[in-house]
Structure 1
Amino acid sequence: MAAFRTTPWRLISGVLGVMCLLLVAALGVLLKNSFTKQNVQPTFSPGPSTDLREGSGCCSCREKWIGYQCSCYFISSESKTWKDSRNFCVSHNSSLLHIQNRNELYFMNSISYFYWTGLFYSEEHHAWLWEDNSTLSQDLFLSLHSLNPKNCTIYGPIESVMDADCESEYRYVCKQQLI
């Protein structure tokens, strides 16, 4: 009789044990997925980009360049001065990062380093301009007034733009607009 009374308890504890294991496994998968999505780094495409993100149907980028909204981006893993970074981009028929709208900021949102940009202060115009002399959209960066106009600009995590000595070495992003 005693063996008969313990059998339902063994069955219940076995079922509860299996449920606990399944819950722990599901939690592990969920945590792994959430950390993977948070730490996503842009990856280099092995060949021409066939990325079909919004507005990028016109992209055909060369190897190691990323296509996004009719532009190709090269995200460096090496550090250079602003001038050397700019020269690298120019030699690849592109320019340092030129952010035109908020969507482009979201594209760059997953970066975890600071990168040189093509934004500089023009003494002649008394304004912040991009390398192509186009003006900066006023709604992109809020803290430009605190930047030192004698320095170059870097863009980094959490949509932040800062100034840095142009002779310092940072990673860089080249942008080639296809349209």
Structure 2
Amino acid sequence: MHESNRLGKGFVPVDLRPTSNYLHPRKYSSNITLNGGLIFLAVICLLLIVVGVIVSLLVTGRKLHKISSECLEAACPESWIGFQRKCFYFSEDIKNWTFSQRFCDSHGADLVQVETIQELNFLLRYKGPYDHWIGLSREQGQPWKWINGTEWTSWMFGQTQNTERSMMRKPRKHPCHCQHKWACKDYPQCPKWHRAALRLSSIVLVILIATVIGLTIWVSHLSSENGTKDCIV
């Protein structure tokens, strides 16, 4: 029998009209799509802003490092020569070793301590044909030591190809009261605000990169949610 035969005689059909809270499936679907699109556009705009800030920070950081090199060179006093972020002074006068070290110390420096082959070649190039006092000395029966107390090793001087006679090619023992020219070495520093700016730019850059990664993951998650099938009952 048909379904209509099962209804009672007093049955009155009722027209089911949508209430104010009712959302048609098509309208609901379009609202979801619209909201998802707006969120996606907002996130993309935010990502572009963050990427722009990162690029600006990278450019600024490069400029700061360039300024750092320039400020270190500018930090060398007059008559001093900058090399590898250090300042060197080659005297015109001749004095004994003790006076030479005192002169360097009065300028916040020490007699030269050679640390790299590049530095050694630089010193050989600028010292000219004269022997210069450097920061090596020793007590009788003791090993040679630099001003800072570390022991001297001869391997560095053996590697240079410069054959000039000099205290650097193969340091020669001289009584400390002898008169020679001398070479000082100092480690200048940029202003504190400059070092703080470098640290701050690095921290901000790391935070922004982490933000970009987080936003990318979030957008990917939203896209996967919007791609699922929604049902209305």
- TM-score normalised to structure 1 length: 0.55
Deviation of residue 156 (structure 1)?
Answer: 1.9
Alignment of 1:20-169 (within 5 A): 58-59=72-73, 60-110=75-125, 111-121=128-138, 126-142=142-158, 156=166, 159-169=169-179
The one-letter amino acid paired with 1:64 is S
Conserved? CA contact 1:112–1:157, under 8 Å: no
Conserved? CA contact 1:100–1:137, under 8 Å: no
The one-letter amino acid paired with 1:68 is F
1 or 2, which has the higher helix percentage?
Answer: 2
Conserved? CA contact 1:122–1:129, under 8 Å: no
Unaligned runs of 5+ in 1: 1-55, 143-154
1 or 2, which has the higher strand percentage?
Answer: 1
Identity, % of aligned positions: 27
The one-letter amino acid paired with 1:71 is K
Conserved? CA contact 1:118–1:131, under 8 Å: yes
Unaligned runs of 5+ in 2: 1-68, 159-164, 190-233
Query: How far apart in 2 are the matches of 1:73 and 1:137?
Result: 22
- TM-score normalised to structure 2 length: 0.43
Output one character per residue of 1:8-52: Cα deviation in whole Å (capped at 9) or x when no partner: xxxxxxxxxxxxxxxxxxxxxxxxxxxxxxxxxxxxxxxxxxxxx
Distance 1:122 1:102, change over 3 A: farther
Conserved? CA contact 1:118–1:130, under 8 Å: yes
The one-letter amino acid paired with 2:130 is Y
Further displaced range: 78-87 or 57-66: 57-66
Deviation of residue 129 (structure 1)?
Answer: 1.4
RMSD in angstroms over aligned alpha carbons?
A: 2.4
Deviation of residue 128 (structure 1)?
Answer: 1.8
Deviation of residue 137 (structure 1)?
Answer: 4.0
Where relative contact order (Cα < 8 A, 6+ residues apart) is larger, the structure is: 2
The one-letter amino acid paired with 1:104 is E
Output one character per residue of 1:107-141: Cα deviation in whole Å (capped at 9) or x when no partner: 012221000011112569x4221101123244123
Output one character per residue of 1:51-109: Cα deviation in whole Å (capped at 9) or x when no partner: xxxxx664331111000011101100100011111111110100011111211111012
Query: Residue 173 in 1 paired to residue 183 in 2?
Result: yes
Distance 1:91 1:157, change over 3 A: closer
Q: What is the aligned length?
A: 111
